[in-house]
Structure formats: structure tokens, C-alpha cells
Amino acid sequence: MTNVRRGCALVLLAGLLTAGCASADEGEHADHAATHQSSAPASATAQQQAVTIAVRLAGGAVTSDDTRVEAAVGQPIELVVDSDTSDELHVHSDPDHSFEVKPAAGQRFSFTVAVPGRVEIELHDAGRTVATILVR
Ligand SMILES: [Cu+2]
């Protein structure tokens, strides 16, 4: 738990957009996600190929640790998760996205990012950054 909080604090210190971490210690992301919902643009209608990020949790280990990927604003980004445990994926975009990971293979979570910048994807229970997306 402290690992997660420290990770989030470092992100805040780095001056990045961290819509989610102010309340990360509460374990609740639903409230502030709803707060930012209204600012999401509806412009990403162009058909773009999705950026896929594979994440695997097995035996307490996380593979694909802190992968760097690039994506365009509005481009679909898909997380493909194989996991043997429950966790929470948290996308540090604005607005942020949270996905509930279950112990199952082939879970897919899709989202888009509306604001350019560096977007980190965290596993909150494991306290790990699994990927960083450079959004342009
Ligand atoms: Cu977070």
C-alpha cells in the first residue's frame, strides 16, 4: 500500500497530470472519474489502429514492466491482461481510467487519451507501473 502511495506522490512531484492519485489511498477512483467525464471530447471518430499493450501478472510477478509506447490523441489503446490475481489498472490520463483486473486470461480494456502528454499505467495493488504512453 505504501508503495502505491509513494509512486503516486513521485508522479505528482514530477508535475504530470495525475487526475487519479490525489485520492488513491482511499482505493476509490469512481468519484473523480465522474468529475472529469464531461470534458471528454467526441472528436475521435477517425478509424485508427489500436495500440496494444500486453500485461501479465503471474505468481506475484509483473511482466512488461514499464513498457514505453507512443499513441496519438484519440487513438484507441488496448490493454490485454493475463492475470492470476485481482488488481486494479489505473490509467493516469485526464480524465483517468480505472479497470478491474480479475484472475483470468485475455482480459481486454480499451480507452483513449484526449490530452497530449506522458500517461502512466499503474497496477495499484502490485504498486507497479506497467507502461508509459507518450501521447501526441
Ligand atoms: Cu494511480
Q: Element (H or E) spanning 5, and its range?
A: helix 2-13
Looking at domain 48-135, its CATH superfamily turns out to be Cupredoxins -  blue copper proteins (2.60.40.420)
Q: 123 burial class (0-12, 13-18, 19+ CB within 10 angstroms)?
A: buried
What is the per-residue pLDDT across 87-115, written as a single tens digit (0 to 9) for each? Answer: 999 999 999 999 999 999 999 999 999 99
Measured in Å, residue 47 CA sits from the centre of ligand 1 at: 29
Measured in Å, residue 81 CA sits from the centre of ligand 1 at: 17
**pLDDT score of 8:** 54
Measured in Å, residue 96 CA sits from the centre of ligand 1 at: 9
Q: What are the sequence ranges of the domains in the chain?
A: 2-37, 48-135
Measured in Å, residue 122 CA sits from the centre of ligand 1 at: 6
Could you tell me if 117 and 16 are in contact, meaning their C-beta atoms sit under 8 angstroms apart? yes
Measured in Å, residue 24 CA sits from the centre of ligand 1 at: 6
- More confident: 110 or 17: 110
Positive or negative, the CA dihedral 55, 96, 129, 3 is: negative
pTM for the predicted model, two decimal places: 0.66
Report the mean per-residue pLDDT for the chain: 78
